[in-house]
Chains A and B, each alone.
Chain A
């Protein structure tokens, strides 16, 4: 349960990156399957090489920035379709990741990492590690929300919302796409660097299908909490990531499932999350409860004494007199 919180927060950073491209920039970026691993691979190989953990993690994030920029350039300068641009970078990164690591897997078990102090103190997977990660995520959420409220950030949001308008307002939309993709993949790679250190290894396959987890987090988060305000949406995405991990963990605890079913489960979760809002079940339930509120029941019509009392207040919506009387009694 608590391990799922840890993971949810680490992957929350990745989900924020996905939110930045998919929702803010309206760009279906598939680069992240590759850049997540790139971040992990870079951090891992530098850690093994004796770099200080913080520097190695930061370097992992920076490589992600470059990966995002590549997709951005393919799309804007090369005029390649967003989906294809992302896939091209992603597949190129697969080879690059192998080059970085030199093999398919780099273990970090006896290497000093960011999580070593916590692990040695036996605090990993406890509320201590959860609170530390929560603080880290709070920092990133605040930074992202602040950035999106600046002049540059607003230009980036306008680019995703109405590109024609953005250009008419003097915004270099190509540059904005590159900035957005770069930042997004930077966050994803940083998340990868953290995850590699958390699980104690970097692996060539660790990013496969990650986009699904990111999408699921964004969809679940914004479906549960959505009032349209920027920072609430950003928090919702992180919450969505945690919920997603909890669902996965709960599903894996069902005896018949084993860890190899995880990708299948994650696909199913996204399908359900996408279809559920469209099914009428919820709308019907909601509509019925609404109907119930407005039905005029006999006790809703005023009795003679009430008419005489001069009480002209409109009957309050949703609360029938019957309910009111019950409370009085």
Chain B
């Protein structure tokens, strides 16, 4: 479904500030895979997501979605097949538009936008059904402005908007990090529900190791632009946070990595 082939990416190349974010990364996601990505700050996790989303163009290597090369497509074209949720709850929705208008924008993501009313009775029913899953009562507030919602509600809405058009890939970039623990737990639960409901292929960056272990069927650990460790299937189910920390320990000497930076 998603394939990243030998991708490298450097920021500020050929300057004193050169920062190599990705070093020859290769990653393959089968249809239905839910991969969690962990790693210290600056490991290249977000860069990887942005490369997949078409936000950054890799210096070397290619990105394939569902058998077609999307490396050179602009981000908005890649977005037709990719749903994204950002860390900032404010980033995924348009505050001055209503809930139903936001959903209509997401609904048209993988369709051609025409001169037809965005919110119709038919679509409203679809939106209501999707919002019911959240159990936040948003289905009764379709005409409320999104700017009036709380951060948690906005993030839940972003999640629905990213997922309900059944994108080929769902990208989640630390999407629970800016929320309080209770809301984060809610969003985590919703993520699991939506991915199952729509049978999505997902790539999720997180700093929370427990979350990384409890969600998804595969886990990758990144460090200094490389994938240093991978877990899948049974091994992932059995693994504990302690096991992950032990894996990190191995790279401590080589990269000056500490538990503190990992867990922050």
A167-180 vs B, CB cutoff 8 Å, 1 = contact: the mask equals: 11111110000000
Which residues in window 148-201 of A have CB below 8 A to B? 149-155, 157-158, 161-162, 164-173
Chain A residues, Cβ within 8 Å of B92:
165, 168
Chain A residues, Cβ within 8 Å of B101:
154, 157
Task: Say which residue of B74, B96, B114 sits within 8 Å of A150 (CB atoms).
Answer: B114
Chain A residues, Cβ within 8 Å of B91:
162, 164-165
A68 to B135, CA, bound (A): 45
Report A218 CB to chain B, min CB distance, Å: 15
Chain B residues, Cβ within 8 Å of A157:
94, 96-97, 101
Nearest chain B residue, comparing its CB with the CB of A23? B96
A228: interface (CB < 8 Å): yes
Task: Say which residue of A146, A155, A165, A167 sits within 8 Å of B93 (CB atoms).
Answer: A165
Nearest chain A residue, comparing its CB with the CB of B74? A172
Q: Is the CB of A171 within 8 A of B115?
A: no
B209: interface (CB < 8 Å): no
Report A146 CB to chain B, min CB distance, Å: 8
Task: Say which residue of A146, A150, A158 sits within 8 Å of B94 (CB atoms).
Answer: A158
Chain A residues, Cβ within 8 Å of B76:
166-167, 170-173
A153 to B74, CA, bound (A): 21
Given A161-B94, A164-B91, A166-B94, A151–B116 Cβ distance below 8 Å?
Answer: yes
Chain B residues, Cβ within 8 Å of A158:
94, 97, 102, 105
A147 to B111, CA, bound (A): 18
Given A165-B92, A167-B79, A169-B106, A154–B116 Cβ distance below 8 Å?
Answer: no
Q: Is the CB of B79 within 8 A of A152?
A: no
Do most interface residues of chain A lie in helix, strand or loop, or is the interface mixed?
helix
Report A145 CB to chain B, min CB distance, Å: 11
Q: Is the CB of A150 within 8 A of B77?
A: no
Chain B residues, Cβ within 8 Å of A153:
118
Chain B residues, Cβ within 8 Å of A161:
94-97
Given A168-B79, A168-B84, A152–B106 Cβ distance below 8 Å?
Answer: no
B69-90 vs A, CB cutoff 8 Å, 1 = contact: the mask equals: 0000011110110001010001
Task: Say which residue of A146, A169, A228 sits within 8 Å of B105 (CB atoms).
Answer: A169
A190 to B199, CA, bound (A): 51
Nearest chain A residue, comparing its CB with the CB of B106? A169
B113: interface (CB < 8 Å): yes
A158 to B107, CA, bound (A): 13
Given A154-B105, A162-B91, A165-B93, A149–B115 Cβ distance below 8 Å?
Answer: no
Nearest chain B residue, comparing its CB with the CB of A163? B94
A171 to B110, CA, bound (A): 10
B238: interface (CB < 8 Å): no
Chain A CB count within 10 A is highest, among B53, B90, B102, for B102
Chain A residues, Cβ within 8 Å of B105:
154-155, 158, 166, 169, 171
Given A164-B91, A170-B77, A172-B76, A155–B97 Cβ distance below 8 Å?
Answer: no
Chain B residues, Cβ within 8 Å of A165:
91-94
Chain A residues, Cβ within 8 Å of B75:
167-168
Nearest chain B residue, comparing its CB with the CB of A173? B76
| 6 smallest beta-carbon distances between A and B, as pairs | A161-B94, A170-B79, A151-B113, A154-B118, A170-B109, A170-B80
Q: Contact residues of B with A, CB < 8 Å? A: 53, 74-77, 79-80, 84, 86, 90-97, 101-102, 104-106, 108-111, 113-119, 145, 161
20 extra A-B contacts, CB within 8 A, seeds A157-B94, A166-B76, A167-B79: A147-B115, A149-B117, A151-B108, A151-B111, A151-B114, A154-B101, A154-B104, A155-B108, A157-B97, A161-B95, A162-B91, A162-B93, A165-B91, A167-B75, A169-B79, A169-B108, A169-B161, A170-B79, A170-B108, A171-B76
